[in-house]
Amino acid sequence: MEGGNFVDYVKIHLRSGKGGAGSTHLHREKYIPKGGPDGGDGGRGGHIILKGNRQIWTLLPLKYRKHIKADNGKPGSGSTSSGAQGKDIVIEVPLGTIARMEENGALLAEITEHGQQEIIMHGGKGGLGNVHFKSSVNQTPRYAQPGLPGVEAWVTLELKLLADVGLVGFPNAGKSTLLSVLSAARPKIADYPFTTLKPNLGIVAYRENRSFVMADIPGIIEGAHEGRGLGHRFLRHIERNAVLLFMVPADSQNVYHEYQVLLNEIKQYNPELLDKPRLLAISKSDLIDEELKHLIDLEIPAGLPRIYISAIAEKGLNTLKDKIWACFEIE
């Protein structure tokens, strides 16, 4: 994706640590030449752990770390001394990160909270020392367990942005402009399609010192649910948004038709997304007069919440924030 700083998908090879071997040591000291077994257990191998960090917004730090491995456990020793555990590897990731096995897509972990930790690769268990195998018929066992191997696999990490509001629209619908006006975010803005090639987040201030997070999702094109135009990589960010704000420019040939196309792409990708509260913002409304607004209203069913806005002229923005906040209270 554009810019390189925002990375929402990486594939890395992980290997947890092998468990240390148990000891076969026999107790020996002055005047006790034939002491019993006192071999300690091997240490556990290091885990691979994912940890959520709200200060991280991208998987960029992992883009070039293709191989990550934890330390092996240390072997046991005499005097029933257990070996040291292998050092765990803690990988900090943004909130909204999902880890899956690359081979079969099995879900390993889903990180949604700051400080949340999930072990995705368990270290191998350390082997038992010979002291555990002493019995009445075998007073001096000269064997112990080896440590169990760690886990090794390719894992994919996928980021789905955690935002309160997701902006959904075709390229050049004015999503980036709206985000830049409502928040301190500064996405790239230009008068041509596909200016935004990576999601952008902004914090929108509301009344009484309240706020919500808005995500500018790169423009969807028809057929996005089939992967056209990197559709899957864009659409997955919508899954974690609480409210979907559809944006269609007022100068479109048919505002309601464009909305229906966008809605169909969402439905085909994941029908459950239709259960989320949604609003229709008709952007660039400073380009049309009241007569054209009336004609557009006749095309749109009465039950569909809509609002005319202009980010450039800063019209309708406070009403838009009120309607968005009302959706949160309905939930």
Residue 118, SS3 per DSSP: strand
114 CB-near residues (< 8 Å, 6+ apart): 52, 53, 54, 95
**Alpha-carbon dihedral sign for residues 55, 60, 65, 69:** positive
**Cβ-contact 113, 52 below 8 angstroms:** yes
What pLDDT digit, counting tens, does each position of 206-256 carry? 988 888 888 887 756 555 444 444 445 567 777 878 899 999 999 888 999
Residues 95 and 222 in one domain: no
Q: What average pLDDT does range 187-196 have in this prediction? A: 44
Give the separation between CA 87 and CA 44, rounded to whole angstroms: 9
Give the separation between CA 85 and CA 75, rounded to whole angstroms: 9
What pLDDT digit, counting tens, does each position of 169-182 carry? 887 778 888 988 88
Give the separation between CA 113 and CA 108, rounded to whole angstroms: 16
Residues 213 and 144 in one domain: no
Nearest to 202, CA basis, from 218, 180, 217, 169: 180
Q: What average pLDDT does range 31-47 have in this prediction? A: 89
DSSP annotation string for 138-201: BSS----PPPPP--EEEEEEEE----SEEEEE-TTSSHHHHHHHHSS------SSTT---S-EE
Q: What is the CATH number of the domain that holds 267?
A: 3.40.50.300
Q: What is the CATH number of the domain that holds 88?
A: 2.70.210.12
Q: 107 - beta bridge partners?
A: 100
Looking at mean pLDDT, say which of 21-30, 83-92, 163-172, 301-310 comes out highest: 83-92
Give the separation between CA 124 and CA 9, rounded to whole angstroms: 28
The tally of domains found in the chain comes to: 2
| pLDDT > 50? residue 27 | yes
| pLDDT > 60? residue 70 | yes
Residues 174 and 322 in one domain: yes
Residues 155 and 176 in one domain: no
In terms of residue numbers, what domain contains 263? Answer: 165-330
Rg (CA), the chain: 29
